[in-house]
Amino acid sequence: MRVDSVRRLLASAADEPQDLEDTAWAATRAAMESELAERFS
């Protein structure tokens, strides 16, 4: 998982609670997809 990119996404959305939640889900999904892609490539 790319922790730096997740932290940047969360920091960018910290002003708006709903945006923060949406961004957290998007970051989680991106991290999972990235990990799966690395495992199966």
**d(Cα 8, Cα 20) in Å, to the nearest integer?**
11
pTM exceeds 0.85 for this model: no
**d(Cα 6, Cα 14) in Å, to the nearest integer?**
12
End-to-end CA distance of the chain: 16
pLDDT classification of 13: cutoffs 50, 70, 90: low
Mean pLDDT value across residues 17-36:
83
The chain-wide mean pLDDT, for the chain, equals: 78
17 pLDDT more than 70: no
Domain ranges of the chain: 3-40
